[in-house]
Structure 1
Amino acid sequence: MLMKGPTRSTLIALKCTRCGATYPPDKAMNVCPRCGGVLYPVYDLEKARESFTRSELARRHWSLGIWRYEELLPVGDWSYVVFLGEGSTPLLHAARLGEKLGLRNLYIKDESMNPTGTFKARGMAVAVSRLWELGVRRLGLPSAGNAAAALAAYASRAGVEAHIFIPRSTPKSMVAEVRGYGARLEVAGESIADAARRLDEVASERGLFVMTTMREPYRVEGKKTMGLEIVEQLGWRTPDVVVYPTGGGTGLLGIWKGLGELSAMGLIEGSMPRMVAVQSSGCAPVVEAYRRGSDHVEPWPSPHTIAAGLRVPKPYADYLILDVIRRSGGTAIAVEDSEIVAAAKEVARYVGVLPCPEGAATLAALKRLVDEGWVDRDETIVLLNTGTGLKYLDVLHL
């Protein structure tokens, strides 16, 4: 236990991002019962401002990880915080790589330093903690691998059940990791969409709380701490551009939500960043919808890519992802698997970080943006490496 007693959480409601309906936050909910929209936690930012200040945060040790930001997280009592050391990952100035690309202020947020090796730890830490606090003891999740490992680890830590549904294409190393944490595992279909359908079929019968991406309100809260950390690590300045690998979209949406809350509290300098969503050409529903000018995606047929986290044929929060890209003045780019492999080698050799394929995809996309003149050499650009490449040695062919 990090501390004792109540946290400083200022959570006051859950709000539907589609119809605007609000709900008390004291019951475990999935999506808006009126319209099926994504629910976001809402905080009393005026109250949060009393203790959530630059000077106060400077006094909080980085060893607290994401829980340094307790005012803007939904857990109300420290006894329910499930902590494995998540958060406080480095923001690396990629000077040599930036020089190669002609960029002076290129950074990589290295999420491979998290428990279970990926950014998924942030979301699961918050979701498992909050659901445990609300009395939920049986959790169900469809996953292509990394989210499964994170849920299995945090469920094990909390002593709650994790039921994981994975597609057949899930890497064997990740399957072994999930089993190692003691989760109950079921292989279902060829894609994460197939796994999600199987979970939906059995959830009620087995008494499972469904944790499908963006169909519960709390994983996004853990992911938003990436944005809070980035701004704090940049001296409370926002980057000009954030390049994010986008499957289900929780990370991209979380960063945007977190920065919006900081902005509303008057804590950041500069405008909101342009958000770039990166997908694989073998599964690019968001990119296609963005190009069409649509506010929703069409399911991608036969998704295939070495980046398992990008193999999401139809993200549930499609309307939110597309809105953030457009409102921020950002863009969406699809890259080839061959570009991903080449970019992974480049990051490893110029930065000293072995990225996961999803993280490497951000460099492949950035190179396109540089060639097109979409970014300026003096802009501050942050690439998100969402996990370690050590889990993908069989596909990166280093």
Structure 2
Amino acid sequence: MLNALVKGLSCFACGAPHDHRVLQTVCTKCGMPLRVDYDLRSFEPNGPPTLWRYSPVLPIDRKHAVSLAEGFTPLLAAGNGILIKDEARNPTGSFKARGMSLAVSMARALGAEALAAPSAGNAAGALAAYGAAAGLPVTVAMPEDTPPAFIEECRHYGAEVHLVPGNIADAGKWLKSNGPRNAFDVSTLKEPYRVEGKKTMAYELFEQLDEKLPDVIVYPTGGGTGLVGMWKAFDEMQSMNWIGGERPRLVSVQAEGCAPVVKGFVEDSSKTEPWPQPVTEAYGLRVPSPIGGFICLRALRETRGTAIAVAEREIVPAAEELARKTGIDVCPEGGAAWAATRTLRSSGWIKPDDKVVVFNTGTGLKYR
């Protein structure tokens, strides 16, 4: 059932080893996120156009996966060498489907009886759907100002929903105190496997771009799982001799009203600090205390990338501009990424001949 090439788990921070054959959350020594380590061997992607094409670098055999045919989303041209990776095409309309497919698959395989997570919106919907597919009860806690479409989506799939004053950090505290005692926590980077689902975005880029990588990847960043996952995937690719030491320059995009990664990057810090009073209507970016902030900063620096905060007033107009330019249904987080791309190109950080991939992380329908 489990991939025999998995060597084990290790801590992103202190390196402490952990057993991958039992349910794990964070490092038992330092409390930081765990990573999955493989005996990496080169392979040819095969099978249907889903993320399970890359099963040799995923922790569970595809025959035992909880899958709704997630992944292999299209790359769509936006002009001037810019491509949009449209994650809205995933089940439940966002990139969160990738991580939840892996997290729920592993949780079920390792004996979880129920699942729970706090969410700003899309992760809750994805967890509700994949929990339903796995036959596991789901409890989610969400900020009380979450748009109604996200809330009703969770209820539609049978999840128990609790609305909490404050932000996603407050929702997480509520679940810790009040959630079901038998529910396994699949919060962002508080279990090892959502990263494994998100890293497949990098594998897809490599396959879709004819075994090449873009020069720049612009990524809207809340908890940072996707950024961390792609950074991890590039190292795996190098270990399998798919690529050399070159890397796309990673760009972390946040909103001015909640920008802990940007602040940490600008201040040359090794870790992020909690953001006081986070405010943005790009709800996926309203993550004030990302546990994996230190990994995001490491990824940005190792790839010679950058971090940029977008003014709130720019986000929706940028999403509308990109939608009208391409026909893609762009979410506010994707709008932030597009606004950042324009700024970086105007400043010269993105060069005219750079091949650029901008992530639209979900559908805009749930915000309207």
Q: Normalised by the size of structure 1, how large is the TM-score?
A: 0.90
Structure 1: runs of 5 or more not aligned: 1-5, 99-104, 394-398
Q: Give the root-mean-square deviation of aligned CA atoms.
A: 1.4
Within 5 A, what are the aligned runs for 1:150-161? 150-161=126-137
1:89 aligns with 73
- Structure 1 residue ranges, 4+ long, deviating more than 2 angstroms after superposition: 6-9, 60-63
Tell me the alpha carbon deviations over residues 287-326 of structure 1, each in whole angstroms, 9 at most, x when there is no partner: 1111111112221111111100000011011110111111
**Offset at 1:172?**
0.6
1:194 aligns with 170
CA distance in 2, matches of 1:313, 1:128: 25
Calculate percent identity across the aligned residue pairs: 48
**Offset at 1:93?**
2.2
**Matched pairs, number:** 368
Change in Cα spacing, 1:231 to 1:270, as seen in structure 2 (3 Å) is farther
2:109 aligns with 133
CA distance in 1, matches of 2:248, 2:209: 13
**Offset at 1:270?**
7.1
Answer 1 or 2: which has greater helix percent.
1
Residues 238 and 269 of structure 1 are in contact (CA less than 8 Å); yes or no, is this contact kept in structure 2?
no
Matched, 1:67 2:43: no
1:212 aligns with 187
Q: Normalised by the size of structure 2, how large is the TM-score?
A: 0.97
CA distance in 1, matches of 2:9, 2:128: 26
Letter of the aligned partner of 2:70 in structure 1?
Answer: E
CA distance in 1, matches of 2:227, 2:69: 22
Change in Cα spacing, 1:268 to 1:42, as seen in structure 2 (3 Å) is same
Quick one: which of 323, 330, 342 aligns to 1:348? Answer: 323
Q: Secondary structure at the match of 1:324?
A: helix
Quick one: which of 207, 210, 215 aligns to 1:235? Answer: 210
1:165 aligns with 141
Quick one: which of 268, 271, 274 aligns to 1:293? Answer: 268
Tell me the alpha carbon deviations over residues 211-237 of structure 1, each in whole angstroms, 9 at most, x when there is no partner: 121111000100000110011100111
Within 5 A, what are the aligned runs for 1:1-398? 6=1, 10-45=5-40, 48-49=41-42, 52-53=43-44, 57=45, 60-63=46-49, 65-76=50-61, 78=63, 80-95=64-79, 98=80, 105-203=81-179, 206-268=181-243, 271-393=246-368
Letter of the aligned partner of 1:290 in structure 2?
Answer: F
CA distance in 1, matches of 2:322, 2:245: 28
Change in Cα spacing, 1:7 to 1:316, as seen in structure 2 (3 Å) is closer
CA distance in 1, matches of 2:235, 2:82: 22
Residues 32 and 291 of structure 2 are in contact (CA less than 8 Å); yes or no, is this contact kept in structure 1?
no
Letter of the aligned partner of 2:39 in structure 1?
Answer: D
**Offset at 1:84?**
0.7
CA distance in 2, matches of 1:82, 1:297: 33
Q: Secondary structure at the match of 1:382?
A: strand
Q: Secondary structure at the match of 1:338?
A: helix
Structure 2: runs of 5 or more not aligned: none
Comparing 288-297 with 215-224, greater Cα deviation is found at 288-297
